[in-house]
Structure 1
Amino acid sequence: MTFNPNSDIGGGKVRRRGRTAGIAAGGVGIGAIAVVLISQLLGVDITPFLGGDVAQTQQIGTGEQLQNCETGADANASIDCRMQGAAASLEAYWSDEVPAQGGRYASPEFILFTDSTSTGCGGATSATGPFYCPADQTVYVDTGFFDELRSRFGASGGPLAELYVVAHEWGHHIQNLTGIMEAHSSRETGPTSDSVRTELQADCFAGAWAGAAATTKDENGVPFLQPITETQLQDALSAAAAVGDDRIQESATGRVDPEGWTHGSSEQRQRWFTAGYKGGTPSCDTFSVSGSEL
């Protein structure tokens, strides 16, 4: 999806962390591969707790505010500026939407990093993919993931696919603010588990933002984004399908085990994104529906 060139994205609060000196030891064997897979499931890098031998490059500090990311034209030209544009649009959308639903909105932090970084939830690496840390209320994204979304996971790519990923993580922040995350904190897995319902709701929240994105305006009354085309919508749906549990399991092991699901199937992720896109946040109650309706 395309930003209006003259929209003001300067209000997006995004920082990028620089990289410190790396610390490398040993080789990467079966144990390291297992750690990467576990880290992807948990959302944080657990190697520091295992005394592992995986090379690490930690990024620390608060990071620096992005420079030269002021307009929608900048967002269309640069991935970092596109992240700032996404933040500005999501901020404007949710700062109205949460109070309208009776809640109180507060902004998350948004950190871009490369390879690995420290977080309030522990050390995180690019292997985990983008994630939200409730402990420090921060969205973390290594923008290199968007290349992997195409090359490794088989998504079609495109700007709306990238923005869908950010909007999904922002959805977790909304769940944290509104108490949804705390109320449904079971660590059980499976096709009808709290984990899957939480992730599908975040997909729905992302869809709700996308459905309103072309009418969400900056402080000057200019819509941040131009209307979504059918091709762009299909890019977002392709990204949602690419990270479905069933597709990832089949690719990794050659079989599908629904009892191990934490995020939902490709079909479910597409369907709940579409529900939000067409119906807004009122359509996103994934916790009240029966398992067959999920």
Structure 2
Amino acid sequence: MKWMGRRQSENMEDRRGMSSGGKTIVGGGIIGGIIGIIILLLNLFGGENAQMLTPILEQMNQGQSASAEQRDLTAKEIEEQQFVKTILADNEDVWSTIFQENNMQYKKPNLVLFSDAVETACGNATSASGPFYCPSDQKVYMDLAFFEELKTKFGAQGGDFATAYVIAHEIGHHVQTLLGTSSKMRQMQEGKSEAEANKLSVALELQADFYAGVWTHYNQKMNDILEEGDLDEALSAAHAVGDDAIQSKIQGHIVPESFTHGTSEQRKYWFMKGYQTGDIKQGNTFEEIQ
């Protein structure tokens, strides 16, 4: 992905130099173990369900050291910071343009990089939660160690554009908050069975994938960002985090009624639809999954 030399956002906070004294381990690893698997299945790329995990995380991690440490960032971490700032700026530029085209004003979110654990307006979370968006403070939270887990544990291809796709997906949840889609979805879930409520959650997640594709479409026109293999990186990441792929990997069988984020094929389809059309009005996933 071509990213160097462009504007970097000022709306990013890097907390990686301010980590807790002891690494918060859930089930023996960042996403490992039974508890980590449950969190992953419920919250991977989610954001909307992050606060529901807080009591579990706090109970299971009692006794962890909380002594504060501060350190200088490594050269690699500084480069990662610059990359994330650039991708965040690209999202700001693209969504400001799209909102303006539709006679709306875009409110920029913040993005927080952290290591191990983080406090948010949606409650406390650990790396096991995966990247997520908190609507209460309108911030995206990411531990970049997630992407190594995505490669080693779930077979994703990896690469810088895979990271860009994930950031764009989480910003997609911010767009849904600004448009009122997220609050409408929660209202629609009221009184529904768990299976029906899960379908609505799937629609929300697939729409965020669609928005990530729309962002890619616009950013390619604006900045000529794509290099050979970049789309494959995004599709590989989308495939790896499909509910069916995760459940097959973890438990050896799938339970479709428990899906909350969509299948691998659905996630790839909606990302590509957004990329190919570049039309935000074609992303009504709620209508198409019924």
| TM-score range relative to shorter protein | 0.7 to 0.9
1:153: how far off? 1.3
In the alignment, which residue of structure 2 is the partner of 1:131? 132
For 2:221, the aligned partner's letter is T
For 2:90, the aligned partner's letter is S
In the alignment, which residue of structure 1 is the partner of 2:206? 200
2:74 & 2:104 partners in 1: Cα distance?
32
SS at 1:46 equivalent: helix
Distance 1:99 1:191, change over 3 A: same
2:96 & 2:178 partners in 1: Cα distance?
12
For 1:250, the aligned partner's letter is S
1:6 & 1:169 partners in 2: Cα distance?
24
1:59 & 1:171 partners in 2: Cα distance?
35
Distance 1:264 1:232, change over 3 A: same
More helix by share: 2
Distance 1:102 1:243, change over 3 A: same
Q: Deviations over 1:241-279 (max 9, x none)?
A: 000000000111000110000000000000000000011
Task: Tell me whether 1:46 sits opposite 2:45 in the alignment.
Answer: no
Q: Deviations over 1:17-44 (max 9, x none)?
A: 111334889996xxx9443334331435
1:59 & 1:183 partners in 2: Cα distance?
41
Distance 1:121 1:228, change over 3 A: same
Paired residue for 1:211, among 217, 240, 243? 217
In the alignment, which residue of structure 1 is the partner of 2:98? 97
* Structure 2 spans left out of the alignment, 5+ residues: 43-48
SS at 1:202 equivalent: helix
For 2:6, the aligned partner's letter is S
SS at 1:174 equivalent: helix
Distance 1:92 1:255, change over 3 A: same
Q: Deviations over 1:131-163 (max 9, x none)?
A: 000111110000111111111111111111110
Paired residue for 2:231, among 224, 230, 233? 233
In the alignment, which residue of structure 1 is the partner of 2:45? none
- The answer to whether the Cα contact below 8 Å between 1:21 and 1:57 also exists between their aligned partners in 2 is yes
SS at 1:287 equivalent: helix
- The answer to whether the Cα contact below 8 Å between 2:2 and 2:227 also exists between their aligned partners in 1 is no
In the alignment, which residue of structure 2 is the partner of 1:8? 7
How do 1:65-76 and structure 2 match up within 5 A? none
Aligned length: 269
In the alignment, which residue of structure 1 is the partner of 2:283? 284
How do 1:262-277 and structure 2 match up within 5 A? 262-277=260-275
* Structure 1 spans left out of the alignment, 5+ residues: 69-73, 217-222
How do 1:51-62 and structure 2 match up within 5 A? 51-53=59-61, 56=64
1:99 & 1:172 partners in 2: Cα distance?
19
SS at 2:249 equivalent: helix
Distance 1:290 1:254, change over 3 A: closer
Q: Deviations over 1:153-211 (max 9, x none)?
A: 11111111110000000000000011000011127446971100000000000000011
1:57: how far off? 6.2
For 2:102, the aligned partner's letter is Q
For 2:92, the aligned partner's letter is E
TM-score by length of 1: 0.81
1:207 & 1:272 partners in 2: Cα distance?
8
2:79 & 2:146 partners in 1: Cα distance?
15
For 2:163, the aligned partner's letter is E
For 1:51, the aligned partner's letter is Q
In the alignment, which residue of structure 2 is the partner of 1:163? 164
SS at 1:249 equivalent: helix
2:143 & 2:172 partners in 1: Cα distance?
18
1:48 & 1:264 partners in 2: Cα distance?
24
Q: Deviations over 1:89-146 (max 9, x none)?
A: 0001111212323433111111000001111111111001000001111100001111
Distance 1:102 1:181, change over 3 A: farther
CA RMSD of aligned residues (A): 3.2
1:25 & 1:149 partners in 2: Cα distance?
17
